[in-house]
């Protein structure tokens, strides 16, 4: 009886292999670009995956004396002190969503570990590389220097690419002490 069961299973395996559809050809797939989507000043942006090491809810923070108003404070995240910055206030605006929707994009480089607070996060966003385009007019002047083009999603919506690296290299951002 076990020989019969073995032959039935072998026959089933053979039929499965012959009727299985193959995987799509690799050359048919368009190159893709991925980033973390977020909202700031009422507009959607996307930051390159390589610029954001973590996405988290807004933790409690301790205020710091003698700093710019856009510095929210320091937060203890898994034993590390994470400075938190209100990105909308840095650009001269204000947050438009309640605190429960605000998120922190963690920027971590060799010399900088910072939490950038944004109105809302949309998680990973994927775009085809050929949908890259220049940013149209209408971008707030204070943000223009931090945007490196844009991607169009499959619905035709434009997502400007916000460079966290440019933010980390900006002297106004890295020198947050009141003068």
For residue 12, tell me if it sits in a domain. Answer: no
For residue 105, tell me if it sits in a domain. Answer: yes
For residue 11, tell me if it sits in a domain. Answer: no
**What digits encode the pLDDT tens for the residues 98-146?**
999 999 999 988 778 999 999 999 999 999 999 999 887 778 888 999 9
**Domain of residue 67, residue span:** 25-174
Q: Which letter, b or e, does each residue of 136-166 get, where b requires 16 or more Cβ atoms within 10 Å of its Cβ?
A: eeebeeebeebbeebbebeeeebbbbbbbbe
Q: SS3 for 16?
A: helix
Number of domains making up the chain = 1
Q: SS3 for 28?
A: helix
Q: What is the CATH number of the domain that holds 42?
A: 2.40.50.180
**What digits encode the pLDDT tens for the residues 41-83?**
999 999 999 999 999 999 999 999 999 999 999 999 999 999 9
pLDDT band at 29 (very low <50, low <70, confident <90, very high): low
pLDDT band at 26 (very low <50, low <70, confident <90, very high): low
């Amino acid at each position: 009886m076990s020989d019969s069961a073995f032959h039935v299973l072998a026959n089933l395996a053979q039929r499965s292999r012959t009727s299985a559809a193959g995987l799509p050809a690799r050359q048919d797939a368009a190159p893709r670009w991925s980033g973390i989507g977020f909202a700031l000043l009422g507009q959607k942006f996307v930051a390159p995956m390589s610029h954001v090491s973590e996405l988290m809810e807004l933790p409690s923070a301790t205020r710091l004396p003698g700093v710019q108003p856009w510095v929210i404070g320091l937060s203890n995240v898994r034993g590390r002190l994470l400075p938190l910055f209100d990105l909308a206030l840095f650009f001269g605006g204000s947050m438009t969503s309640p605190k429960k929707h605000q998120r922190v994009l963690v920027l971590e480089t060799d010399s900088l570990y910072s939490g950038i607070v944004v109105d809302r996060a949309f998680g990973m966003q994927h775009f085809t590389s050929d949908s890259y385009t220049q940013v149209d007019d209408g971008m707030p002047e204070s943000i223009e220097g931090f945007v490196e083009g844009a991607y169009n999603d499959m619905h035709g919506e434009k997502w400007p690419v916000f460079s966290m690296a440019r933010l980390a290299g900006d002297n106004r951002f890295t020198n947050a002490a009141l003068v």
